[in-house]
Amino acid sequence: MQGLIDVILPCLDEAQALPGVLRALPDGFRALVVDNGSSDGTPRVAADLGARVLHEPRRGYGAAVHTGLAGATSDIVAFLDADGSLDPAALPAMVALLDGADLVAGRRQPQGRGAWPWHARAGNVAIATLLRRRGVPVHDIAPIRVARRRALLDLGVADRAFGYPLELLVRAGAAGWRITEVDVAYRPRTGGRSKVSGSVRGTLRAARDMAGVLR
């Protein structure tokens, strides 16, 4: 691994889970927290633990992720949910796979009851099936992924809401990217409530955003 790798963590009210995530980052990875309008002190918690903090006032997962990508300085970047559901220890092995891939994406393997509610899992299966029909070889919408920063920017992903990760995969597939998918443990979040899988309403909102990408 050459140099530090920025780990982009989009955050909206993740003060409870964030400390555990930041402390679990492996050597060689540095946290870039993008606060998306938290009211629970998330930016202060992140800064106190040594993370670099950026602010994105426009609400939306894609808006926060894009701000992190634009503000990162490492050649390789990683993306990780900040809710404690994913183990940062998976990142070094994923980065190593970039020698033969343009994008390495996680495929969630639920660990423990309640890790992945049925409505969120069903939506993910349906969308991943549509992606494979388009020739994109994935089974998940990649909540944890690594790629080269410049190449990601050049893809021109435009969605700034929940459709961002899906558009990334669609554009990567159209550009002929080599995509490698690896199994990653997926645990119940360690704090707060998911903006997507935490409710049927949140899942439907995400599905709406993603359906717009697939039109």
pLDDT category, 152, cuts 50, 70, 90?
very high
Q: Higher confidence at residue 209 or residue 127?
A: 127
198 or 191: which carries more pLDDT confidence?
191
- The Cα–Cα gap between 210 and 50 comes to 34
The string of pLDDT tens digits covering residues 66-116 is 999 999 999 999 999 999 999 999 999 999 999 999 999 999 999 987 778
| Residue 143 pLDDT level (bands cut at 50, 70, 90) | confident
Q: How confident is the model at residue 63 (pLDDT cuts 50, 70, 90)?
A: very high
**For position 164, what pLDDT does the model report?**
94
The count of C-alpha atoms lying within 13 angstroms of the C-alpha of 81, restricted to the half-sphere facing its C-beta, is 28
Q: For position 180, which CATH number holds?
A: 3.90.550.10
Cβ neighbours of 123 (radius 10 Å): 20
CA dist., res. 39 & res. 83, Å (int): 16
pLDDT of residue 200: 55
Per-residue pLDDT at 197: 46
**Band (191; pLDDT cuts 50, 70, 90):** confident
**What is the model's pLDDT at position 120?**
81
Residue (of 167, 100, 173) closest to 138 by Cα position: 173
Overall domain count for the chain: 1
Query: Residue 145: pLDDT above 70?
Result: yes
- 146 token code pair: 């690594």
| Domain that includes residue 162, residue range | 5-214
Q: How many CB atoms lie within 10 A of CB 190?
A: 15
Residue 201 pLDDT class (50, 70, 90 cuts): low
pLDDT digits (tens, 9 = 90+) for 179-189: 999 999 999 98
More confident residue, 175 or 116: 175
